[in-house]
Amino acid sequence: MSDQTAPRIDAWLWAARFFKTRALAKQAVERGHVTRAGAALKPAHTVRVGDALRIARGEETFAVEVTGLAQKRGSVAVAQGLYRESDASAAARVAAREQRRAERAGYQPPPKRPDKRARRLLRALGDFDAR
């Protein structure tokens, strides 16, 4: 692909299935969640094969190298061929996911809604707004 037909970063992120919609991809780029060599990009920035991108999506961060270009969204198999994630990035994501799971392990949601007495106690503690 020449520079004139090279995809925009927001279109490439959408085609590579990092975001569900192109608008979400554009917002992520505008907010600085997508960087190349530590520098924030603009949504109209063109992507080239060999670019190293860092993509922050929610609590996950991906460090990928662009291996293919696409402007249209295809199947998952095609999308996975557009980039290669580093082994360190994948290991860090798995470790972070396990850490979050371990932090939630002790939490047990209440079996039912709080009764009148419990609601009063909660309001007294200031844990939620009185309605």
Strands 34-36 and 83-85: unpaired
∠103-34-96 over CA atoms, to 5°?
Answer: 15
Q: Could you give the CA distance from residue 33 to residue 62 in angstroms, rounded to a whole number?
A: 10
Q: How far is Cα 14 from Cα 38, in angstroms, rounded to an integer?
A: 21
Q: Quick one: pLDDT band at residue 4, thresholds 50, 70, 90?
A: low
Q: How confident is the model at residue 79 (pLDDT cuts 50, 70, 90)?
A: very high
Residues pairing with 35 in the sheet:
40, 54
Res 3 pLDDT > 60: no
> Residue 8 forms beta bridges with which residues?
46
Q: Which CATH class for the 9-107 domain?
A: alpha beta
